[in-house]
Amino acid sequence: MSIFSNKTFAKLGVVAVACLTLAGFALSERLEVSPVEGSVVNEAEIAASADPAKAKAAFNEAVKVFFSARCANCHPAGDIPTQGDEMTPHAQGVTRGKDGKGVYGMTCTTCHQDSNLEGEHMPPGVPNWHMPPANQKMVFQGLTARQLCIQLKDPKRNGGRKTPKEAIHHLEGDPLVTWAWTPGNGRSVPPMSYEDFMKAMNTWVENGAACPE
């Protein structure tokens, strides 16, 4: 005859089920709060995945936009902007000025309004038309692709922007930039679309922002 009665077995079964249930709750809580280390992607891993050759190729494509007349006219080596597809020195004796907006009595917005003025030889326009300031000239004209690339990454020459991503932030939707593709009055546009240009610049950044040789 068994020393345990049926009632005793029933009580033991209830206790066992209760213990298993409590253990399950405890295990569930531990699983919920345990970090999944494999899901963390650090900066070193991102850098390791960069493709310098891809970055250089992307910049070599994008630089064609920087060097086009629509962009380079306001980025001369000196203090006189250029104009037209021929990039001839600006008429009327216009100069950069300290803040890039011209000098007193001959500011950029004296002629360049918030939109393109229709008619032959009428000035183009977009809000806040200006050149880079005198202390951050951001020269495009006369540079090689490599020289421009290095300049874009140099905080001393790019407006204090410390990373390549910060350096291209200005290009993302700034009216002065996007105007180049809607210049009006038969003016030429850059040799690639704005969308393709930004795609190339982002590819450059995402692959380590290496500069062409």
CB atoms inside a 10 Å sphere around CB 192: 16
Please enumerate in sequence order all residues whose Cβ is within 8 A of that of 76, keeping only pairs 6 or more positions apart, or say none: 82, 139, 140, 141
Question: pLDDT, tens digit, for every residue of 116-162?
Answer: 999 988 999 999 999 999 999 999 999 999 999 999 999 999 999 99
pTM: 0.77
Which residues on adjacent β-strands are paired with residue 106? 103
Question: pLDDT, tens digit, for every residue of 62-108?
Answer: 999 999 999 999 999 999 999 999 999 999 999 999 999 999 999 99
Which residues on adjacent β-strands are paired with residue 107? 102
Domain ranges of the chain: 6-34, 51-206
Please enumerate in sequence order all residues whose Cβ is within 8 A of that of 51, keeping only pairs 6 or more positions apart, or say none: 207, 208
- State how far the alpha carbon of 213 is from the alpha carbons of 16, 56, 68, 155, in Å: 73, 8, 21, 21
CB atoms inside a 10 Å sphere around CB 128: 12
